[in-house]
Chains A and B, each alone.
Chain A
Amino acid sequence: MFPYIPNTDENIKDMLKAIGVPSIDALFEDIKLRHKPRSFNIPEGKSEFEVIEHIKRLASKNVAGLIPFIGGGYYDHYVPSAVMALASRGEFYTAYTPYQPECSQGTLQALFEFQSAICALTEMEVANASLYDGGTALYEAVMMAGRITGRDKVIMDGGVSPIYRKMIRTYTSNLHYEFRETPVVHGQSSREEIEKLLDEKTAAVILQNPNFFGTIDDHADVIEKARHLGALAIESVYPISLGILKTPGAMGADIVTGEGQSLGIPLNFGGPYLGFMATRKKYIRKMPGRIVGETTDRNGQRCFVNTLQAREQHIRREKANSNICTNVALCALQSVIYMSLLGKQGLKGLAQLNLDKAEFARREIEKIEGVEVKRSSPTFNEFTVYLPVDASIVAEAMIHKGFAAGFPLGRYYKGMEQYMIVAVTEKRTKEEILGYVKALKEVLA
């Protein structure tokens, strides 16, 4: 018997009697004979031990022990033990959406703290309680800009993650948006091209900092130009970098989104991740997703509730801001625990450490003959390397030497087949970096 069902034969008998039916089958009278499954061929059940052994065997078919220098928006950061120890408490883990605030203050306050931390990180005025991931958050930002401006032209900087750009095009394929993409010049957004396209029909300009090539920019000037024409600026950011980098708030961005995976969430082969979104207070009613607000209870005590729900699907139905139902509360919780552990100094130190290690790796890689590190603009913890041969071949050869060497750009950028982005987080030791350089030399030799 499946061990999570507590009903005994005696219980079953008593309940059937109370209901007044002869058998469990009788409860399914609405499912007629003609509805019966044509097949239901599921393997026989297993014990807990057997399942775990089976899945461990599957895990062993994945290559183990690769030293990761691969990023592309998803980074190998250290997750302090306290994060999962706290987030996996059953009271958080096995609760649901806080529909009843009296018995959900734990989740609600944690989400309020998450929103606060996102505002601190981005220097924006308001944030929501999270979205599925960075890509869907960026798509939701496009929709939001459309609602605010009533316009439908969107300019996408070529430095925005190509993964996100593909997602946005997928999601809007049934809607009336016109997308224009602009090139990256010397690693930064092309002011000239963006200005050419900016006009009074433009709903938004989408930017990313650091961009997919790892380079840093200050978009304040682009954002200012957009504002003059009534267009909004959407900035996608990498949270760890904001420990030292100029914030999107300081640049004047209107909507900020990002992937929060780096804030205490494992790579998990693609999910679950953590999308976040922040904006100006005046746009809060146009923002999608759950929002937790502070209020007082009947006795005047501070407490927290889901608020501004009239924007959401369960009330607005087809007129809702988004079809989104839940957020990713648990990932938001993990990240706020992570951000609290890091603290003000920890975040700054972590960002600097990433910068230092990446700089060290850059200098060492640059020394390899035939390899060129792109230095036209500053970078954070990821940078673009030009190789004397096809980068995808190099990346493959490096795996056999035990390194996930980086992400070759040819997959997403035509003409960049010899380029690769390399990420270096705080977890990479000097020894690993030097080992990487040695292996790369051998591969190229």
Chain B
Amino acid sequence: MEIAEHLLYTKDHEWINIEGDEATIGITDYAQESLGDITFIELPNIGDEVEQFGDFVSVESVKAASDIFSPMSGEVIDVNDDLKEDPGLINRSPYDKGWIARIKLADPEEQSNLMTAEEYAKFLESVG
């Protein structure tokens, strides 16, 4: 199970990569593997306001539909349009080509509610 070092994580298996006052969001390797082959993702609209741990997008696999929550609050400024044609990118490259959206952060303080890579690794062990 791959965990990327430089990212922050949520208990719902989302990751966020903070770069200044902007950030990229995706789901973890663990999440993509538990979902199985992803067949569809309903992307947010640019300009949408999202709240930390609030509803963000929903992804579908053959046998499941899951809600993905936003790791931090902010405004959506970009979405990964490649996922519309090829949602399998999330399975193949969860931390890179399978990114979901970029947001402009509303409150950088919120990152204190997230886990580091090391903490996330421990969390994964604890959930088995």
Q: Which residues of A come within 8 Å of B, CB atoms?
A: 285, 308-311, 315-316, 319
Contact = CB atoms under 8 A, between A and B. Distances in A.
Nearest to B40: A285
B116 interface: no
B64 interface: yes
Interface in B71-86: none
A315 B40 contact: no
Interface string B26-42: 00000000000001101
A310 B42 CA distance: 12
B36 to A, nearest CB: 11
Contacts of B63: 309-310, 315
A323 to B, nearest CB: 16
Contacts of B64: 310, 315
Nearest to A316: B65
15 contacts: A285-B40, A285-B42, A309-B63, A310-B39, A310-B40, A310-B60, A310-B61, A310-B62, A310-B63, A310-B64, A315-B63, A315-B64, A315-B65, A316-B65, A319-B65
A85 B42 CA distance: 45
A319 B67 CA distance: 10
Question: B-side binding surface: helix, strand, loop or mixed?
Answer: strand
B-side interface size class: under 10
B106 to A, nearest CB: 23
Nearest to B67: A319
Question: A-side binding surface: helix, strand, loop or mixed?
Answer: helix
A438 to B, nearest CB: 63
A303 to B, nearest CB: 15
Contacts of A315: 63-65
A308 B60 CA distance: 9
Nearest to B61: A310
Nearest to B42: A285
A319 B65 CA distance: 10
A311 B63 CA distance: 10
Contacts of B42: 285
A310 B60 CA distance: 6
Contacts of B61: 310
B41 to A, nearest CB: 11
B122 to A, nearest CB: 31
Contacts of B60: 308, 310
B89 to A, nearest CB: 18
A316 B62 CA distance: 12
Nearest to A317: B65
Nearest to B39: A310
A315 B67 CA distance: 12
Interface in B40-72: 40, 42, 60-65
B47 to A, nearest CB: 15
Given A310-B40, A315-B64, 6 more contacts: A285-B42, A310-B39, A310-B60, A310-B63, A316-B65, A319-B65
Contacts of A319: 65
B54 to A, nearest CB: 15
B83 to A, nearest CB: 15
A310 to B, nearest CB: 4
A285 B60 CA distance: 11
A309 B62 contact: yes
Contacts of B62: 309-310
Contacts of A308: 60
Which of B39, B42, B62 has its CB near the most chain A CB atoms (within 10 A)?
B62
A383 B62 CA distance: 48
Contacts of B40: 285, 310
A310 B35 CA distance: 12
B68 to A, nearest CB: 14
B49 to A, nearest CB: 16
A309 B60 CA distance: 9
Nearest to B65: A310
Contacts of A316: 65
10 cross-chain pairs, A with B, having the tightest CB-CB distances, nearest first: A310-B60, A310-B65, A316-B65, A315-B65, A315-B64, A310-B64, A315-B63, A285-B40, A310-B61, A309-B62
Contacts of A311: 65
A144 to B, nearest CB: 15
A327 B73 CA distance: 42
A440 B119 CA distance: 86
A309 B64 CA distance: 8
A283 to B, nearest CB: 13
B23 to A, nearest CB: 27
